[in-house]
Amino acid sequence: MNKLLTQAKKFNVSGPRYTSYPTALQFEVAENDPALGLYLEERKKRATSLSLYIHIPFCFSLCWYCGCTKVITKNQDRGDTYIDYLEKEMKLLTGTLHPDSITEQIHFGGGTPTFLSPPQLLRLGSLLHRYFNLAGTLEFSVEIDPRRVSTEHIDAIVEIGCNRVSLGIQDTNTDVQTAIRRVQSFEESARITEMARNAGIESVNFDLIYGLPKQTLSTFKKTLDQVISLDPDRFAIYSYAHMPSIMPSQKLLNEADLPSVEEKLSMLVHAVNTLPARGYNFIGMDHFAKEADELSIALNNGTLQRNFQGYSTRPELEMIGLGMSSISQGWDFYTQNEKDLSRYYQLLDEGTLPVKKILTLSEEDLLRRRIIMQIMCKGEILFDEYPLHNGLPFSERFSEELASLAPFEKEGLIQLSEKGVKITPDGRLFLRNIAMVFDEYLQKKIHQNAYSKTI
């Protein structure tokens, strides 16, 4: 058996994706908690660089595999109401920001951002320009469902400043698409890709998923060959997480159609072996980018970042989430908005930020977050970058964790030395597993079974 496949089977356990640390499962209900007010007061005192995430929850139809926070409707008028409330939230938010704060990133996620009509997208864009100071070098990305995009949609997002798009392709095989209730032709994806480039979009990302019903290694190979032919700048190749107890729509899928663990992992191994040979650097976990792409450059020069939007190239941005369920991330504080749409509206009608949950990070959280993000982004831990803790150097402070890395060292996935820990090229597939060693909440077995498989 292929060595990488053997290792993938060995380390395929449940664990976080580490878009944050601590993870969102540790957030607590914010009702009457004074910490939120204190955090907002402090934030207003300092000018910061911002990354805005706007959640558009609406979808025209239900994709059975999907675990996103969404609202299924065919009524596009609901988009107008939602934008009304986004404006209310923007008005409240700007009162908690220093007037000199600059927005360097914007991301529209969902749901389906292109559920909104072109006029609605233009209106939303105008609100962002009105309420926030947008940087001249703004990075602005929009998630696109190829089934729901017109030339007018592309023109609208470009007009409001979008320069990056991400296409949710998932798979090009008709049997797989039918099984997950997301049918779209390869020609549609090709047409949207060409349309975006002709309109001036600078970067195109494709999302694929491996492990879906009816997928085989053979069909996945064909899908990968097809989408590579469209020459995207980036790939995100996600593992399908079958968790019907948490994601009820997945109960509609026929579990008998799911590939075996070995076949599923074979798909990932094929991608990891194929994409670098076709000009894409393996950024880590499930992300790949061309050599000239900003992600590759950031990986090579040690400036790669990670937040709730995934891998990023802009360091030290404070993330502001708008819309139902969205998450905000400050230096030592997380908030999450209300997930129920009617309650989200109600709180804004009351003149209150629609925050449902918060988390204040302890000194221990901050230390472990730094370690985990060093693993996820830089692929190394340098011991001398960490101050003594009660007189103890890193190697003694985290002696148990370092001892727990032995299985990874034995497999050649890391190199341990007196200076630190270095992830090997093969180890980049196992970043989640390696980072888990330093996760204090997993050590306490808190929410351990609520995560997807790591590979």
Q: Give yes or no for a contact between 200 and 241, defined as CB atoms under 8 angstroms apart.
A: no
Q: Is the pLDDT of residue 388 over 90?
A: no
Q: What is the pLDDT of residue 71?
A: 97
In which band, very low, low, confident or very high, does the pLDDT at 443 lie, cut at 50, 70 and 90?
confident
* Percent over 70 (pLDDT), the chain: 99
12-26 pLDDT, tens digit per residue, is 898 999 999 999 999
Q: Is the pLDDT of residue 447 over 80?
A: no
Query: Mean pLDDT across the stretch 235-243?
Result: 95
Q: Is the pLDDT of residue 401 over 80?
A: yes
CA distance 386 to 437: 17
Continuous H helices in 143-206: 151-159, 174-180, 186-198
In the structure encoding, which two tokens stand for residue 285, read together? Answer: 């976990």
257-274 pLDDT, tens digit per residue, is 999 999 999 999 999 999
Q: What is the pLDDT of residue 1?
A: 54
Q: Give yes or no for a contact between 335 and 317, defined as CB atoms under 8 angstroms apart.
A: no
Q: Give yes or no for a contact between 378 and 20, defined as CB atoms under 8 angstroms apart.
A: no
Residue 86 phi, psi (nearest 5): -60, -40
Query: Mean pLDDT across the stretch 224-231?
Result: 98
At 375, the amino acid letter reads I
Q: pTM of the predicted model, to two decimals?
A: 0.94
Q: What is the pLDDT of residue 194?
A: 98
Q: What is the pLDDT of residue 455?
A: 77
CA distance 117 to 76: 7
Q: What is the pLDDT of residue 448?
A: 59
CA distance 349 to 271: 48
37-92 pLDDT, tens digit per residue, is 999 999 999 999 999 999 999 999 999 999 999 999 999 999 999 999 999 999 99
132-177 pLDDT, tens digit per residue, is 999 999 999 999 999 989 999 999 999 999 999 999 999 999 999 9
367-380 pLDDT, tens digit per residue, is 999 999 999 999 99
Instruction: Strands of 62-133 (E only): list them.
Output: 71-72, 102-110
At 222, the amino acid letter reads K
Q: Is the pLDDT of residue 450 over 70?
A: no
Q: Give yes or no for a contact between 374 and 381, defined as CB atoms under 8 angstroms apart.
A: yes
According to DSSP, the β-strands at 234-239 and 203-210 are: parallel
C-alpha pair distances (Å), 338 with each of 31, 45, 87: 12, 26, 16
CA distance 61 to 211: 22
Query: Mean pLDDT across the stretch 208-235?
Result: 98
Q: 149: left (phi > 0), else alpha (psi -120 to 50), else beta?
A: beta
Query: Mean pLDDT across the stretch 425-454?
Result: 86
Please name each of the domains of the chain with its CATH number.
Answer: 22-360 (3.20.20), 363-446 (1.10.10.920)
